Amino acid sequence: MIAINPMNSTSVLAAFGALGVLVVIFAESGLLVVGFFLPGDALLFPAGVLCAETVHRAPQLELWQVLVCAAVGATAGAQVGFLLGRRGGRALLARTSNRRVRQGVTRAEELLARYGYGKAIVLGRFIPMLRTVLHPAAGALGVPVRAFTLWQVVGGLLWSQTLVLAGYTLGSSVPHADRYLLLLVAVIVAVSLLPLAAEALRVRRGRRSS
């Protein structure tokens, strides 16, 4: 029996391929219970690498399947998260003792207030951990269904397809890129955390100046 670690992108891809992308991205895009612990950026980029064909290797995944599964997982997960938030998420979010969830809700409120629905929902897709709580929070905070659906689809497609195609481009141009998946995952995680670091620095500076 093969041991599967859902928090490890290489394990998920090796076991389930494109279907694993769909399931993990669906959960990461809006299911608060598990979403925080699942890879998002760190799954899509390596999946794109494994779709590439070079003179040294055949593709291990089909690009069109990964693109479709990433798009469906991102958009459907966000919509389900929004509907869960709309149906009682405010009470759930208020009762939660999870510090990450509370911080995420606060940041989601700030993002929606500062940038408006469209820009906040699209930008939130590119911020790890925030995107997991942003969609249920948007439902709980009363964002209109039509506006949310439009912008979450735009953001979900932009985020998911860009990362997969970026990995595919790298895998097609760099020989044996698939041998360095763990390193690539570490780089992607580090890059994806930059917005969080920048936001934390901004908040710290704001507190010092106040």
* Average confidence (pLDDT) over 178-198: 61
Over residues 56-81, mean pLDDT: 91
- pLDDT at position 77 is 95
User: Which has more pLDDT, 24 or 32?
Assistant: 24
Tokens representing 52 are: 């590439």
Higher pLDDT, 174 or 182: 174
Place of tokens 């859902």: 6
d(CA 138, CA 80): 12
Least confident window among 84-93, 103-112, 169-178, 189-198: 189-198
Per-residue confidence band for 1, with pLDDT thresholds at 50, 70 and 90: very low
Nearest residue to 156 via CA among 102, 106, 81, 89: 81
Q: What is the pLDDT of residue 17?
A: 87
Joined tokens for residue 61: 């995944």
Residue type present at position 60 = Q
Q: How far apart are CA 164 and CA 35, in angstroms?
A: 19
State the pLDDT at residue 191. 61
Q: What is the pTM of this model?
A: 0.81
